[in-house]
Structure 1
């Protein structure tokens, strides 16, 4: 009989007007029986009783494949991951015994994967038989498949595990693969990820350890160290201005990217306002269509003018393309916290309960839904609508986050009502809206839950990162299985009563690394593969988001803006302002656009200096309370600022006078 146990994690959050309430998490799928069997297997390994040890590990893999076990305090990993960590660390005698036991089965799986060109089989092999002899070839081939699919960070991580010097936590034991070729592949991955410093580090290893190694790169033959160095210089010379994620990058140098003027504002009187409705989502753009939503309707606006994207001809046309019955909104957040997802010309928007629902009314309605709207050819036509209540009739689920889209799937955080609120992730078909899987991750125990609605998902490389205050989890996109969970205990008294900063948690997933806020004043750099901490950084002020990554700096925002070194977490600079910041900002290459309640700032990430400042509210707007600072988004030469009372869109690009707009 299988015995299940939840793991309790104590946290502190903040709720307006009260002392910080105590929160507890229980994690789903933590198996104490699997942990005890793994401990017994490790005892057998220490005694060199190989058959007994490997028999127990086989049983654990077979019976508890989807369960979690504690690998170290504060970190839980899947059973296959934990078993592979143990076998990869075996001494030579134990490794030989292990390979004698599993190599035949692993070889058969490798042949099947090669014959079918099957990535999932390769992934299964390197997960379940990581230390086997065939796994070395499977790791190399899997890296090639990821490379061909454009998943460069995943390819880099797979190839790094073949480096004999142990660059990461779990390295393949005693690799026979030609090390210069492995170093060259890893260097090329770093280059494509614009991580020049790491690529140079790989070149240094080639110079020191393999100075005479030859090969072919880009059709050129020669010494690998010289070929990669030449490629680095070419990449540096031709890299687009800024790099980064902003759609307007490349228009001049990063230092010239400035706010040049106000395109339009919903507080200016010239475009439809939002009236008494609260803007709940940070708008997202497709082409020149801007999707903006309240809790009961979606508007499609022209990004350039703020007027309806597809005018209906009606006198009171506000651009609405979908409406539903208004949901109860007991206490709206002081700013939008999420943004709709757009994939292949389709917009995916969450509607229903928003803001801070109390524990009695939480999700007890039929309005929580995700809708898909055709932006490419249908002028916002409804393609499908999925109600949260239909995900599982035995549970009262509600969508707690906006959706994210990855490949052909749409994902969102889901929660149940009450003082014991289940926390999970739902995956829908992007084409039909049908449920593909729903995975419960844990339960939040609290009478006053300040975290609801602040959960965030990020999709990358076939995985999903879930981040909520003090907890980070990595799930597989294909089936929702949890690969690892990391948590940070939050200390009593963290945060100030009335603060809304300490629980707005936004992770940054960049170049195969996760930068996450794990406590009110604590951030961590987590290894993508297994959740191990590469570093932890403590801050003097509350932080709420990892906002940008430069070549050597990652910036965190909250009551101040702080840049730390990407390799160590060491503070490099800090900017403090009279009022608190407003969310994660928007990166444009080497610059970060960031908003406080009174100013729109352009910050040089490398130096930590404000290179441009636009006072808010902007001229020509009506002085309406609440439409000052807000969260930022960008598209098509525009910077979008969202506040609960409305939107304003700025023109962004090279500044003619080098200074940009002023009041």
Structure 2
């Protein structure tokens, strides 16, 4: 396992430090001896690289005026491009310039402030006059090292705190903690520290302890409070609306955990992995009794794409249902289905002979298999937000073969669930995104925040390119389209390729694992890249392996309280990053293909592939593992966290494992007892649903009865 910059002060999960004023022991960072050859091409401006070289020359000669002048010019003209801050890690140029300035000597900082303070002062006065957040954001993005940068960080942190964006508040306030003489003499540009704030540091540190507490990290908050009392026993200030001794105020607040109301992502599964952070835990374990109802999913043309998945199945468990109120929805390439999860009847109907198909309204469509060969695993996801369902429909092919004769387009559709009983509100076809005769494809289902939705775009020619685009959730109109990276095509041009990339949304920031050598963070407002990390990509070209759902997974990043976990499918590494900065917290090689990041609790990260693993989320150390070495007993579908347990599906049974301690609580036999098979698990109310390759099965709470006596919807109703 490799830890980079482990000695840097980060206010995250458990490596709490007060900059280096209160310092925990950290592992020695390991140095990368040589830079790997990156598999992606990024928008790095050569002019910036040359000008940065000039800045370093001026700094070595202590020509502060010239160094500052060039930095301001670089930031103003090239601020949105990327700069290689360290091997394998890129920052936005404007952010890197501010980080670099923070390490300048006071006389150089004074020169910079003389030039930018008038502009920063104007923005700050606009914010105080009621112009909202944007003037403060302008300061933090363009003039953070001005005399008003610390005030902007402080006010933005207060706004984030009031809005419940605790991780954002932490990242803003953390930047106000200055470095001390005990830090490394070489300033590290990977993380920003405002060097000379006149704000009361103990008061800021006390707020950071409250962030830990209200994030539910009670033991960590207690530890931090103990360290704070030792360092600042007499410090006074204002905290949570009260004036007084800060240690006493903290002790009073921390003594009452009942005042903490954690974000609720434990109710309905609204998207893949349940929540847009890709981290979901149901409040209560499901009650599994008899098979209550079963819905046979017709085989459609797109599910014939793959020729030889494992265990003789022609299709994988590639359906990922979502739940809204009393209904469950799922889709394949052609149709969106809606069922009442209590009865198994079509949504909004008591007639078992009515059609459960919500989209398309016309039940017939002429579809043909592609002319050229196809590799990859088709998977189907959707997202529910604001009473609407958003799904990616059409051909699952995302990288079209160069000489493919069939138009392989994809659609993004929006259905009204709350007001229109599944009525189509709008549809965007990838054919509309044509650019110089090269067509984009939508990847997986979008994530949604407010009135905006975000989705990954992909194309295979003239180069393999991955973008992230933002659309209006109300109309489907494009707002911005941001290029992330280019890559070499890993399979020959005459083959169609299926992928299904999903974004992760955490604290109003977007995260994307491209599965081709890069992981990126983007701003939801304007699409600007916050940071981008590259890693050694394993070039997978074996068609059978790429088409085997036991060899590949659907693994978007998982966000939890400021930490981003990633398991790229083109790498054998499992990684954890500080989500705000992109700094690597830890990474470790993995013995088998990770197919699911199932969830993260306060102390444990749950990962599955052939077997199920529980890791210490702070270090990546494996605490426990369970499963079989026999391929017939490997994991089969996506499990779920519920209560204190993880429900993990195999092909013929479900294992119920204690999430923190890893002991096996129960085995639920599917095939022998119910005649069912494993698949992707969904909790709806107190019922457990299993989406297997060809069937959606609901287990009720009644006594156990044979599966063949359970209620069923006739396949004849699907027309």
TM-score category by the smaller chain?
A: 0.7 to 0.9
Kindly indicate whether residue 550 of structure 2 is the aligned counterpart of residue 550 of structure 1. Answer: no
Counterpart position of 1:455:
501
Looking at structure 2, the residues matched to 512 and 591 of structure 1 have their Cα atoms a distance apart, in angstroms, of: 24
Note the 1:165-204 alignment, pairs <5 A: 169-204=191-226
State the partner residue of 2:229. 207
* Superposed counterparts of 1:390-429, under 5 Å: 390-394=432-436, 395-418=438-461, 420-429=463-472
Q: Distance in 2 between matches of 1:583 and 1:133?
A: 54
Q: Deviations over 1:127-177 (max 9, x none)?
A: 222222210110000011112222221111111111235899222112322
Match of 1:260 among 275, 288, 294: 288
Q: Map Cα deviations across residues 41-74 of structure 1 (whole Å, 9 max, x no partner).
A: 1221222111111111112112212211111111
Cα deviation per residue 1:290-318 (whole Å; 9 max; x = unaligned)? Answer: 11111011111112122201239584623
Moved more, 163-172 or 348-357: 163-172
How far apart in 1 are the matches of 2:126 and 2:672?
63
Q: In 2, are the aligned partners of 1:503 and 1:520 still within 8 Å (CA)?
A: no
Offset from partner CA, 1:548-606 (integer Å, 9 cap, x none):
11112222222332222222222222234344334553233543332233332333221
Quick check: 1:373–1:381 contact (8 Å CA) kept in 2? yes
Tell whether 2:556 aligns with 1:506: yes
Change (3 A) 1:568 1:179: same
Aligned to 2:567, what secondary structure does the other structure show?
strand
* TM-score, L = length of structure 2: 0.78
Q: Could you tell me how far 1:424 is from its partner in structure 2? A: 0.9
Change (3 A) 1:164 1:435: same
Q: Structure 2 vs 1, CA of residues 255 and 513 (structure 1 numbering), >3 Å: closer, same or farther?
A: closer
Q: Which residue of 1 aligns with 2:535?
A: 488
* Cα distance in structure 2, aligned partners of 1:230 and 1:363: 70
Alpha carbons 1:419, 1:447 under 8 Å: kept: no
Give CA deviations for 1:172-221 in whole Å, capped at 9, x if unaligned: 11232212211221122222222224323431332121112345555666
Residue 245 of structure 1, aligned match among 266, 276, 300: 266
Give the whole-Å Cα distance in 1 for the aligned partners of 2:98 and 2:58: 16
Is the 8 Å Cα contact of residues 451 and 468 (structure 1) preserved in structure 2? Answer: no
Which region of structure 1 is more displaced relative to structure 2, 579-588 or 153-162?
Answer: 579-588
2:113 and 2:146 in contact (8 A); partners too = yes
2:98 matches 1:111: no
- Can you give the 5+ residue segments of structure 2 that lack an aligned partner in the other structure? 1-34, 184-189, 275-280, 304-316, 705-719
Indicate which of 660, 679, 687 corresponds to 1:638: 687
Match of 1:349 in 2: 391
Q: 1:264 to 1:254 in 2, by over 3 A?
A: closer
TM-score (norm 1): 0.84
Counterpart secondary structure, 2:503:
strand
Q: CA deviation at 1:400?
A: 1.4
Q: Tell me the secondary structure at the aligned position of residue 285 of structure 1.
A: strand
Task: Provide Cα deviations, 1:360-398, integer angstroms capped at 9, x if missing partner.
Answer: 477952641111111101111111111122134534011
How many angstroms apart in 2 are the aligned matches of 1:177 and 1:477? 30
Q: In the alignment, what sits opposite 2:478?
A: 435
Query: Does structure 1 residue 304 correspond to structure 2 residue 350?
Result: no
Q: Is the 8 A contact 2:682 2:690 kept in 1?
A: yes
- Matched residue, 1:471: 518
Task: Provide the rounded CA distance (Å) in 1 between the counterparts of 2:114 and 2:156.
Answer: 23
Rounded Cα–Cα distance in structure 2 between residues aligned with 1:467 and 1:386:
24
Match of 1:21 in 2: none
Matched residue count:
622
Matches within 5 A, 1:123-202: 123-164=137-178, 169-202=191-224
Tell me if 1:540 matches 2:591.
Answer: yes
Q: Which moved more, 1:498-507 or 1:37-46?
A: 498-507
Q: For the Cα contact (< 8 Å) 2:399–2:460, is it kept in 1?
A: no
Question: Which residue of the other structure, out of 377, 389, 398, is the alignment partner of 2:431?
Answer: 389
Match of 1:616 among 626, 645, 670: 670
3-state SS, counterpart of residue 70 of structure 2: helix
Structure 2 CA distance for partners of 1:359 and 1:335, relative to 1, 3 Å:
closer
Q: In the superposition, relative to structure 1, how do residues 328 and 226 fare at CA in structure 2: closer, same or farther (>3 Å)?
A: farther
SS state of the match for residue 260, structure 1? coil
CA RMSD of aligned residues (A): 3.5
- The answer to whether the Cα contact below 8 Å between 1:283 and 1:339 also exists between their aligned partners in 2 is yes
CA distance, structure 2, for counterparts of residue 326 and residue 521 of structure 1: 41
Report the more deviating stretch, 569-578 or 441-450.
441-450
Stretch deviating more after TM superposition (165-174 or 364-373):
165-174
